[in-house]
Amino acid sequence: MFAKSLYVVTNTEATPESLVSDIVINAQHAIFAGHFPGAPVTPGVVQMQIVKELLETHLGQKLAMKSMRTCKFLEVLDPRENPNVRITIKFKQSELLEVNASGEGNGKVFFKMQASYL
């Protein structure tokens, strides 16, 4: 949905239960024209979608969120000030895919989330 238009992955490191991806957000993307003109903010739902897309690419399968245990947006993610973001994802496959993820950059933590995916 957003890969290669809103963001590009510049580096990925993976283990059997983790994924760390460095992304660069495109501050010129159309989504920022409405959110918000002259003061772009990356919507929280978009940050969660990026986590899902990175996982889907890594695992080679489509995912659907079953539940969200926690989700905190700790800093505003302005793509002009912080285009480089490191997404860290830890996951464990059981009946569901249990995920802990965060987005950080420039010494800031933008979000933390815990979710389960089908």
Residue 27 in domain: yes
Does position 37 have pLDDT exceeding 90, yes or no?
no
Nearest to 85 by CA among 34, 18, 11, 14: 11
Please provide the DSSP assignment of 18-85 as one string.
Answer: EEEEEEEE-TTSTHHHHS-TTS----HHHHHHHHHHHHHHHHTS---EEEEEEEEE-S---TTT--EE
Does position 1 have pLDDT exceeding 90, yes or no?
no
Residue 40 in domain: yes
Residue 47 in domain: yes
CATH number, domain of 73, equals 3.10.129.10
Contact between 52 and 91 (Cβ < 8 Å): no
Mark residue 111 as left, alpha or beta (left: phi above 0; alpha: psi -120 to 50; beta: remaining): beta
| Mean pLDDT estimate for the chain | 96
Q: How many domains does the chain have?
A: 1
Structure confidence by residue, pLDDT tens digits, 82-106: 999 999 999 999 999 999 999 999 9
Domain residues for the domain of 55 are: 7-117
